[in-house]
Amino acid sequence: MTRVTAHLRHMQRSHIEAMFSLRRALWFSLGLTALTLAGLGVLLPLLPTTPFVIVAAFAFSKSSPRLEKWLLESRAFGPVIVNWREEGAIAPQFKLLSMVLMLGVLIISVVAGVAWWILALQTVFMLAAALFVLSRPNGRAFA
């Protein structure tokens, strides 16, 4: 192998490593963003927590096994992630909670006098979300 060929192979290897590093950084950034939004969702009833936790676990599985393990071992989030990964399931108590919160937000919007067209859009999106949640199998319930 000539020096030029060896140099080109080294450059290709460096390029591939850089691509993997960038990809890993992007997945990690997505995981942190999703986890931040999940944290906000704990405080704000309008923002869902569970989908963001599931996205964070997926992103960390691609970028940070340590953070993925931390999420999976979390008493709060671990069972939700496992239910979703193994069965595409949502535990019954979370289905009920999501229905109650969606209805509550809709009632608050009506009482607040939100424009009819916003209420219509909100209703359509919430119905779609409710149908999706209710169509998922029941996962294992947990405390």
Q: How many CB atoms lie within 10 A of CB 60?
A: 24
Nearest to 29 by CA among 60, 73, 68: 60
pLDDT tens-digit series, residues 7-60: 556 556 665 565 668 888 899 999 999 999 888 877 776 677 888 888 999 999
- % of the chain surpassing 90 pLDDT: 33
Contacting residues for 114 by C-beta, under 8 A, at least 6 apart? 122
Average pLDDT of the chain? 83
What would the pLDDT profile of 103-116 be if each residue is shown by its tens digit? 888 899 899 999 99
Q: Reduced to 3 states, what is the DSSP secondary structure of residue 1?
A: coil
Q: Is residue 113 classed as helix, strand or coil in its secondary structure?
A: coil
Q: Where are the alpha helices (DSSP H) in 44-115?
A: 50-63, 65-73, 78-87, 92-111
Q: What is the pTM of this model?
A: 0.66
pLDDT in tens, 52-71: 888 999 999 999 999 999 99
CA distance 104 to 110: 10
Decide: 136 and 92 in contact? Cβ < 8 Å. no
